[in-house]
Structures are given as structure tokens and as C-alpha cells.
Structure 1
Amino acid sequence: MKQSTPSFYNLAWRWHFYAGLLVIPFLILLSLTGIVYLFKPQLDQLMYADLLQVPVTGQRLSADQQLAVVQRAYPQANVQQYLPPVQADRSAQFVVDNAGQGINLFVDPYRGMLLGSQDAQNNLQAIARALHGELMIGTLGDRLIELAAGWGIVLLVSGLYLWWPRGSGGAGVLWPRLGSHGRLFWRDLHAVTGFWGSLLLLFMLLTGMTWTGYWGAQFAGAWNHFPAAMWDAVPTSDQQARSLNTSTKQTVAWAVETTPLPLSDAHAAHTGSAASQAGSAAPQISLQQVVDTASARGVQPGYSITLPKGAEGVYSIALFADDPRHDATLHLDQYSGAVLADVRWADYGLVAKTVETGVMLHEGKLFGMPNQLLMLAVCLLVLLSAVSGMVMWWQRRPQGRLGVPPLRHDLPRWKTAIVVMLLLGAAFPLVGASLLLIWALDWLLLSRLGSLRRLVSG
């Protein structure tokens, strides 16, 4: 019996439908939260100008004097991080843990006064970032975002196949037929916006995947390698630099996430001293000494200083720069002030440099406003494509039920595209596992429907 529809296309059509069903809600969420985070500099200035801007009045206080202001206001709080002023007219910022609540405190570095506070987890930017990265539900959310991003690539590949022109002319292919109405209008809008945004969307999905907790961690472990000699003479902990990052705040760059956190030694730098002989810890260096080290080492403004955790913790100076060529990650012994590690752009491998550049483009930081506007356009294209896709499905859904729209019969076999999607499943394990699961469920369902089974078998 001659089959009426190529089984390859049947599978492609269903994959595109399933991918859209899974991905569209996530793409809408990622686009909206991405727009918020994309314009973080402008929104921060608009919403928190009273906390960020200060008048320049004389000599700036030392970092330790600024720290004293915070400790007087919050004597029971644990100070976790210090962000020196980025410019002369900007405030300093401290991040503290006050009875389990994270608080951002802003200090006027000239007048030595507390300007105000901000909930570190429940402000607009922190919420947008947490939603964007892990849906505010931890590891499960991270895996769902990774799964959605991987399926977004499947959606893109299958969508390009469905879009591929099979006739002449660019109407409905390269530009929408604006004079059309109904389903044809929405089809053109969906196909054309999807095509023009496909490469940029692929770029966004791939650069975003590098930050995910499973695939991204495996990718970083495979490619982020530094000379072993960098750590030979340094006592290291069992923690990695990624532990300095949180769902709401990025501290260290992706390229150094897999590097080990060194340990401070309270006695090694003070051999023979009274403190060492007595078995007690040496005194901790001052916060200003850490700032001075950053300046002496040429770290550009915009860095943060993470304070030591415990007796063996280190001071970590980290600059996750808009231009990754200025990235810097330094770890200092909290007692001697010795620089235990100093990792810069020159130490990154080719893959790390490529990823870091891509991430900055993704976040709209590399080329200022033009970069922001380009990424905004991508987000708007994604939103438009998602909405038009939902409208198309609603118009073509099986009458009276929610399901796969009817198949078209005018498309050729696409063995190459099938191979591409299988390769994607192999490259992204979570996608591959879910692809097999959906394929199995789809086959089991179809096996109980005789007419549809004959349609895709043979």
C-alpha cells in the first residue's frame, strides 16, 4: 500500500508541535525577564538614584571606615561582600546577612552615612534574574530552563525546515503578506519572524545554556582548564569559585567557575611570631588593604570583594566586566594578604574567551546601548513568534479538543533534519532523554489508533 504521508515529516511536525508546547511559555518568561535584566543599568538609575548617587564632597573615607558605618547600623549582621564606588559620584555597597535575610546597604563614602537598604533577594533585578535562571525554585527550575532551552533549539531546527521555501518569491518567506487575513496572516508573521530571528535566537539559547547547572557545568568542566602550576603552591579547598555566584547575583565569570577556592593559612605567613607560637590565628588584614591590592594589580572599578568565610576562607576580588578582556579574579590570604591566585583574560582558553564574549553580547553589555537594543529586538521577535505560534495552533487545532494540528502533505522527506535533531539530542542529554520519552509516548498512543498508525508506519 502506498503511504499517503512521509513518516519523516509526520515525526517532524509532531516534534515541532511538542517543542512549541513545552518551550513557548518558557520563551515568553525568558524574554520578559531578559528585557528587565537587559536594561538593569537604566532601571537601577531610575528606581534607586537616591541610593546610588552621592555628592562629591572632599576626601573619600577608607573601606574600613565605610565598613564601620555598616557595623554600627547592623551590629549583629554578617558582612559578606563589599562593592567599592564605581565612580566618584557613586555610593559604596555592602551585602550583609541579617538573621538570614540578605540586605544590600548603600553608604555615602564621603560623609560616612547610610543612604538606605534594599532586600537582596526581593528587588526587581534579583527577581528577574532568579526567574530567568531557575524560576525561583532552585535546581528543579534550573533543569527546566535547560530543558526548555534545548527544546528551543529543536523547535528552531524543525521550524526552519517547515519554513524552507519550496516555491519562488519572497512573500510569506522573507517578508509577511501584510494584506492577508486570518490564518495566512498569522502563518506569515510566525514564519518570517522566526526565520529572521533564528540565528540570533540560536545564539541566545546556546550562550544561555552555558550557565545551566547540568549541561553548562559539564561544558565548563570540559573546556575551562588552567595550567596546573597556577595552583601548585597554593592550598586549595574542595569548593570551586562558582560557589561565590548565586541565583540573584553573578560574582565571578563563567570562565573561572570551575577553579578551586584557595585556603588561608593563619600561621604560614607568621612563622616564628608570638601568635604562631601560641597557636592562635594571626590578625586579619584590613578591607582597605584588599582594595589597595586590587588597585596595585590594575583591577578596574566595578569589582566586588567577597569577605572570608571561616578561619580558612579568603578574600575574593572579582570583576565580571562588561568587556570580558578586563575580567579579574583574585584570591587573597585573609591573614598575610598574599595573592594566592590571579586569573585574567590572558589565562582564558579560546573556548572560554568565546563564551565570555558571547555572554556579554547576550546580556547586552559589550557595546552599550546598540547591544541592548539588538537584544531587545531579539526578545520582541521571540515574543511575536511565540504569540503568533499559539494563535496558529488555536486556529488549526483539531475541532473540539487540544491536540496536534492536521498534517500537511506537500513536504518532502527530511532525513537530514532527523539526523540533526538526533545529534541535538545527543549533544544535550536532557533534551535527548525527553525526546525519547515523548517519542515513546507518541508511538504508544498512535499504536492504539489504527488509522493514524497506518499513516506513520510502513
Structure 2
Amino acid sequence: MKLNRSLHYIFWRWHFYAGLFITPLLITLSLSGIGYLFREEVENFIYKDLYFGNSEQTESLSMSESVSLTEKKYPHYTVTKIIHFKDEHNTRLTMKNEHTGDQKYVYLDNHNQIVGDQNANETFASIMRELHSSLLVGGTIVNYLVELAACWTIFLIVTGLYMSIKRFKNTPIANARERSKRLHSIIGIVFTIPLVLLVLTGLPWSAFMGKQIYNITTSSESLGYPKLYMAPPESQFKELPWATRQETLPQSDFTEQSTLLIDELEKKLNIEKPYVISLPNNSKGVFTVSKSSGSGITGMHVSPNEEITAYFDQYSGELISKIDYRDYGLFAQWFSYGIPLHEGHLFGWPNKILCLLTALSLLFLIYFGVKMWLARKPQGKLGAPPKQKDKKSLFVFILIMIVLGIVMPLFGFSVLIIFIVEFSLYLYSKIRVKK
């Protein structure tokens, strides 16, 4: 009984401080996640003229003619991708500035005439994505903070679940604080699995664990990809499926033949929309045609088992190599399903509603958590739960933290820092007492 009671207070104390410090980040991640979840509906409305409108020109152009015309209209910009959507969306050209690296989106109607353009970094989806992943600031430290918030969320779920089960057994509902505590517990228990899934499926994008996950998937063919398709750590082809996004691209044989026209390639493709054609960026580059389940682009997502990445020689148009879902290893296949689950489009509207309810549950957990804290907080004091000195309880707690630290190294590193600070403060207090 003493062990359970002492462990409960240890969990409560760490749960309290963890929740207190990461609450601002969790609120930001939840709200930006909801915004990104409904990017398709928002963008289809605010960009409807670009997405579905028509140019005043009625003459039909071939895609190669349209690409040439677009590059003439936007000096210093080069077309890098052609995106064909699955519905009534206009075709989108992705352009990159050869001097600054900035990206621009240009939309073509069904005659391949230019409808309009937009800055790639200023779209609603891009802003929500950057806010969700890097708080619009970017940089390694900020990305680590976002990932750390996700890791500590797992800790909050584990400790909260333990305390909630104990609470239901021992706590009567006597006042407003206890009602808030009961609602906090019920929401946490009901949404435990969705919350864990939401956090875990977001880790492939993270700065530290995302890289470790990718390294694991490329270390074994049974986990990741065939040796032929092993990849460097980064890729500029953001619309490729996650599983092949970082792989080394094959190269075309350099010949004296003229460059294969885009129109000829499209005639050869036996593939249904939506798909992306990434254009060669040098004399040895290839045409890359891909379908992705987790592209992050409105109107582009497909079922994971429909993912495909194919490479074509830019001069002969011949298929060099092809990767599809069946070539992925265990982890790669799992992430191909996990990413669209996180984005809310794996199984249509039910997926989106589930993600919305999960994000809202996190906000309600924060609300009721703060409410019951304020109800018990003494005036002028923080109101943190008391420290515990029971050695058996501390041993069990440290063991749990070690396990979580191994599973989530960034979490483990942050806990180590906290222990060092705590120990330093303890030594300092002892020195002051002696003086």
C-alpha cells in the first residue's frame, strides 16, 4: 500500500510539472493540427479560382508548350514538378527560383493555360504545417522542442492512465475539483489509444527520432527497402512517398539525343491520377513519376498500397526502375499507413473525425487539468504535489523512466538533464546547511 501511494505521488508530481511546462506547446500543436486536418476544405474555398478556375485563353497547349511558356513568364524560375490531381483540381506546376531557392505554384486549366500562381510558403497548408512542425520558426532547437513535447505527451499518457485507474477506485465525487478530475480521467482513458497513435504516427517527421527511424528502416531489407534503393538522409522531392523520399535517384545515360518531351512521357504512362512528375534537374537526371499516400498536398493522397515511384530515362523514355508498396519492408509499410492516418485521410471522413476528436480531447485534458490545479493551488504558491522519499517507489519510477528513455532517446536525454539539475540543487542545499 505504501509503495502504491508513494508511487502515485511521484507520478503526480512529474505529471504536474510535465503538463505545466509543455501545455503551451500542446495547445499550439493541437490547434495547428486541427487547421492542417481541414486544409483541403479551407484551401478549396479560399483558392477556388486557382484550383478550379479557367484562363481567358481557350487555345489548348501541350504540357511541354505550357512548361516553356510558364518558364518564360516567370524569369529565373524553373519548373521542377507537374502535379495531376485526381478530381476537378487544375494541374499544378511547382517552380523553383534558381537564385534564391524560393518555390512558386502555377495552376493550369484543362487547356494547359495559366490560371494564376501563389507563393509555396504562403499557402494555408504550408503555414499550418510549419506551425505544427516548427512553430513557424524552424531550426534544430525548435524542432527538438516540438519532438520533446510529443515524447513528454507519451509520459503524461502513461502516468495519467495509472493515476486515473487508481482514482476511479478510491475517489468519490464530492466537489467541483473532483468532477474536473473525474472528467480529466475519463477523457484520458477513452482517448489513450488514439492519443498514442497520433503521437507515434507523427514521429517519422521529427528531427531526432525521425532520422533514427529512417536509419533503422534502411538497415535491413526486411524492415525497409531493397539494397538497390538505399538512400541518403535527405531528398528534395517532397511529393514522393515517405518510404522512398530519401532514396538515391537513378541516373539517365547521357546521350546526344534530344531531351524526351514531357508529352511523350505522359502518353507512355499507364497510371491513373493523381500522380506527380518530377523533372530532371541535370543532364543525367531522370523523370520521376510517383503516387503517394502521405504527400501533404490537397487532392493528392492515395491508398498506401497504391504507392509507386518509377524512374524514366529522360532521353529514351524507357523505364529504368520502379518501387511500389510490395517492395517496402515491415517498418516502411507501417509508416505508409501511419502517416495518412496522422494526416486524417487514410479512411476518409471517419479518419478525419477521429483525428479531430483526439486533438479536441487533448485540449479538454489541458482545460480540466488546469482547472483542478487552480482549484487546489494555494494563494501565492505553485501547489506542486509533495516529494516522495520511499526508495522502492523511486526505484520503480526510475526504471520506468529508463525504459521510456530507451524507447524515446530525446526524452531520456531531457530526463537526465532534470536529474542532474535536481542533484545539483540537492548538493547546493546541503552545502548551505553546513555553512
Question: TM class, shorter-chain normalised?
Answer: 0.7 to 0.9
C-alpha distance in structure 1 between counterparts of 2:202 and 2:65, whole Å: 40
The question of whether the paired residues in 2 share the 8 Å contact of 1:19 and 1:151 is answered with yes
- Hey, what does 1:302 align to over in structure 2? 274
The question of whether the paired residues in 2 share the 8 Å contact of 1:8 and 1:418 is answered with no
Give the C-alpha shift of residue 315 in structure 1: 2.4
Q: Which amino acid aligns with 1:392?
A: M
The question of whether the paired residues in 2 share the 8 Å contact of 1:86 and 1:301 is answered with yes
C-alpha distance in structure 1 between counterparts of 2:110 and 2:144, whole Å: 42
Q: Name which of structure 1's ranges 317-326 and 195-204 shifts more when overlaid on structure 2.
A: 317-326
Give the C-alpha shift of residue 405 in structure 1: 3.9
C-alpha distance in structure 1 between counterparts of 2:213 and 2:363, whole Å: 29
- Hey, what does 1:270 align to over in structure 2? none
1:445 is aligned to 2:433: no
Where do 5+ consecutive residues of structure 1 fail to align?
246-250, 268-274, 276-281, 454-458
Change (3 A) 1:230 1:381: closer
Give the C-alpha shift of residue 344 in structure 1: 0.5
- Hey, what does 2:304 align to over in structure 1? 324
The question of whether the paired residues in 2 share the 8 Å contact of 1:264 and 1:333 is answered with yes
The question of whether the paired residues in 2 share the 8 Å contact of 1:20 and 1:155 is answered with yes
Q: Which amino acid aligns with 1:286?
A: L
1:392 equivalent among 355, 372, 377? 372
1:103 is aligned to 2:83: no
C-alpha distance in structure 1 between counterparts of 2:17 and 2:253, whole Å: 55
1:201 is aligned to 2:200: no
Change (3 A) 1:11 1:186: same
Q: Deviations over 1:48-68 (max 9, x none)?
A: 111111479999643213313
How many residues are paired up?
A: 414
1:50-199 aligned within 5 A: 50-54=49-53, 61-87=61-87, 89-98=88-97, 100=100, 101-110=102-111, 112-136=112-136, 137-165=138-166, 168=169, 181-199=175-193
Change (3 A) 1:59 1:407: farther
Change (3 A) 1:59 1:301: farther
The question of whether the paired residues in 2 share the 8 Å contact of 1:396 and 1:406 is answered with no
The question of whether the paired residues in 2 share the 8 Å contact of 1:239 and 1:261 is answered with no
The question of whether the paired residues in 1 share the 8 Å contact of 2:39 and 2:124 is answered with no
2:261 equivalent among 271, 286, 295? 286
C-alpha distance in structure 1 between counterparts of 2:30 and 2:267, whole Å: 40
1:262 equivalent among 226, 250, 268? 250
Where do 5+ consecutive residues of structure 2 fail to align?
294-301
The question of whether the paired residues in 1 share the 8 Å contact of 2:51 and 2:107 is answered with yes
Q: Which amino acid aligns with 2:267?
A: D
1:225-244 aligned within 5 A: 225-226=220-221, 239=232, 242-244=235-237
C-alpha distance in structure 2 between counterparts of 1:43 and 1:404, whole Å: 42
The question of whether the paired residues in 2 share the 8 Å contact of 1:53 and 1:91 is answered with yes
Give the C-alpha shift of residue 291 in structure 1: 2.6
C-alpha distance in structure 2 between counterparts of 1:5 and 1:443, whole Å: 24
C-alpha distance in structure 2 between counterparts of 1:31 and 1:416, whole Å: 32
C-alpha distance in structure 2 between counterparts of 1:319 and 1:226, whole Å: 22
Q: Deviations over 1:200-247 (max 9, x none)?
A: 111111111122132122112212454999665x9x9x84563322xx
Change (3 A) 1:341 1:389: farther
- Hey, what does 1:44 align to over in structure 2? 43
* RMSD (CA atoms): 3.3
Q: Which amino acid aligns with 1:105?
A: V
The question of whether the paired residues in 2 share the 8 Å contact of 1:241 and 1:256 is answered with no
C-alpha distance in structure 2 between counterparts of 1:77 and 1:398, whole Å: 62
Give the C-alpha shift of residue 28 in structure 1: 1.3
Change (3 A) 1:231 1:435: closer
C-alpha distance in structure 2 between counterparts of 1:444 and 1:12, whole Å: 22
C-alpha distance in structure 2 between counterparts of 1:439 and 1:42, whole Å: 46
C-alpha distance in structure 1 between counterparts of 2:214 and 2:233, whole Å: 12
Q: Deviations over 1:241-290 (max 9, x none)?
A: 63322xxxxx12222234222223313xxxxxxx3xxxxxx432222233
Change (3 A) 1:70 1:186: same
The question of whether the paired residues in 2 share the 8 Å contact of 1:80 and 1:94 is answered with yes
Q: Give the percent of matched residue pairs that are identical in Structure 1 and Structure 2.
A: 30
C-alpha distance in structure 2 between counterparts of 1:14 and 1:219, whole Å: 31
The question of whether the paired residues in 2 share the 8 Å contact of 1:63 and 1:291 is answered with no
Q: Which amino acid aligns with 2:68?
A: A
- Hey, what does 1:271 align to over in structure 2? none
Change (3 A) 1:312 1:48: same
SS in 2 for 1:261: coil
The question of whether the paired residues in 1 share the 8 Å contact of 2:232 and 2:246 is answered with no
SS in 2 for 1:243: coil
TM-score, reference length from structure 2: 0.84
The question of whether the paired residues in 1 share the 8 Å contact of 2:9 and 2:385 is answered with no
The question of whether the paired residues in 2 share the 8 Å contact of 1:105 and 1:114 is answered with yes
SS in 2 for 1:260: coil
Change (3 A) 1:139 1:339: farther
1:436 is aligned to 2:408: no
Change (3 A) 1:83 1:256: same
The question of whether the paired residues in 2 share the 8 Å contact of 1:9 and 1:414 is answered with no
C-alpha distance in structure 1 between counterparts of 2:395 and 2:388, whole Å: 17
Give the C-alpha shift of residue 373 in structure 1: 0.7
Give the C-alpha shift of residue 403 in structure 1: 6.2
SS in 1 for 2:122: coil
C-alpha distance in structure 2 between counterparts of 1:192 and 1:11, whole Å: 21
Q: Which amino acid aligns with 1:16?
A: H
The question of whether the paired residues in 1 share the 8 Å contact of 2:7 and 2:397 is answered with no
TM-score, reference length from structure 1: 0.80
Give the C-alpha shift of residue 348 in structure 1: 1.2
Q: Which amino acid aligns with 2:119?
A: D
